[in-house]
Chain A
């Protein structure tokens, strides 16, 4: 107790205060059963705490396990990287200077390999492209012009839309797949009443939905516009009935070119419908 020595007046006041407080407090008697109430509160608190622990812990257990596992993996990876850095550490000094030529040498070797592969690909490209074109033509046979082999002379001479100077360039597939070519021959004022609709590869695979002027609804037969090839092989190859149209392949293409100005571009839908 570190009380300062009180003054007489102060001491009297303190004594009076002490006595009054004791008299007032000692008259208070706490109710019985305080301990039971304390025990009940403790039990309730313990129960609520255990329930709260269970409720709070159950959902977080898998998350905690996953977090722990991830932390372990990260620790392992960090250790591995550290070990790797320690092992490669000596290269940073003199060894790196000694082996410094490896990097440009590797770059040079990589460049040589790239050049060699590119040159080999360039030399090997044309046959592969031809093969690819053939295979594509077979597979896309209903589309028309791609059915023509790449080396077919008729393709280069007749069926290219860009071959005509006055006609705007159109894609091959659009020109071929549309029945416009068929319509060319239908409206053709030329004297050829032949039912051969088109030798142009564009119209060949599609059986023409509209009848030809002659009334014979022969579908365009040959994907190959070359007269020589059209005689026998083309229908067998592409599975289309070409029939009598093969002989007039070349003239019709010319006329088709000529009439292409007047015919509007058609939608590819009829091609599909056939």
Chain B
């Protein structure tokens, strides 16, 4: 009896994850790409977020809205972790030769075509996350606050500072 229930639960969770994947996987990967600047890493981040959602229980999977907000927050947090880890790795790794392109170079070339995206990369993590979630994800301040785990006032503050920094960078370039 218990085994049958567990099987049913597992099947239901798999179906819910499949539905969420088909609906939001692509957008979440794109969001993650804007945060981590790397497609493969972005895919990894999103897939890990789906796994975490699956193991989190059916109470999250039943409500698709809750599941999506959980996925978004997970993607943001994991992207932040990836960037933090990358900073440490870059600090300790030997620098490549000048004529040798880095591994991320190919993935980032596309993003760096835009001056805006290049300016975005120069922002601090929190400000970049706020900007991406707001202008790419079209999230409200409350949703951004929930996804980042900060207050709405902090969201406003990060947003205004990010916009000021972007404006100064873009004006300097032009």
Contact = CB atoms under 8 A, between A and B. Distances in A.
B34 A21 contact: yes
Interface in B103-153: 110-111, 113-117, 120, 131-132, 135-136, 140-142
B140 A42 contact: no
Interface stretch (A24-32, A127-135, A262-270): A24-32
Nearest to B132: A21
A17 B135 CA distance: 7
A2 B42 CA distance: 29
Interface string A1-18: 110000001100110111
Contacts of A35: 18, 21, 25
Nearest to B22: A35
Contacts of B46: 30, 34
Contacts of A49: 55
A64 interface: no
B60 interface: no
Nearest to B167: A13
Contacts of B74: none
B159 to A, nearest CB: 10
A28 B30 contact: yes
Contacts, number: 94
Interface residues of A, number: 31
A87 to B, nearest CB: 46
Nearest to A30: B29
Contacts of A25: 30-31, 33-34, 136
A13 B163 contact: yes
Contacts of A91: none
Contacts of B135: 14, 17-18, 21
B50 interface: yes
Leading 5 A-B pairs by shortest Cβ distance: A20-B116, A25-B30, A21-B136, A30-B29, A20-B114
A161 B133 CA distance: 110
Given A10-B163, A22-B136, A28-B110, A38 B29 contact: no
Contacts of A21: 34, 116-117, 120, 131-132, 135-136
B25 A30 contact: yes
A37 B29 CA distance: 14
A34 to B, nearest CB: 6
A96 interface: no
B17 A38 contact: yes
A46 B54 CA distance: 10
Interface in A24-56: 24-31, 34-35, 37-39, 41-42, 45-46, 49
B84 interface: no
Contacts of B31: 25
A45 B55 CA distance: 9
Contacts of B43: 30-31, 34
Given A13-B166, A13-B167, A34-B46, 7 more contacts: A17-B120, A17-B135, A29-B26, A34-B43, A35-B25, A37-B47, A45-B51
A21 B18 CA distance: 27
Contacts of A22: 136
B14 interface: yes
Given A13-B167, A16-B116, A30-B39, A24 B51 contact: no
Interface in A50-90: none
29 contacts: A1-B140, A2-B140, A2-B142, A9-B167, A13-B163, A14-B163, A16-B116, A17-B116, A20-B115, A20-B116, A20-B117, A21-B117, A21-B132, A21-B136, A24-B34, A26-B30, A27-B110, A28-B42, A28-B110, A30-B42, A34-B29, A34-B46, A35-B18, A38-B17, A38-B54, A41-B47, A41-B51, A42-B55, A49-B55
Contacts of A37: 47
A10 B142 CA distance: 21
Best-buried of A1, A9, A20, A29 by chain B (most CB within 10 Å): A20
A226 B95 CA distance: 114
B29 to A, nearest CB: 4
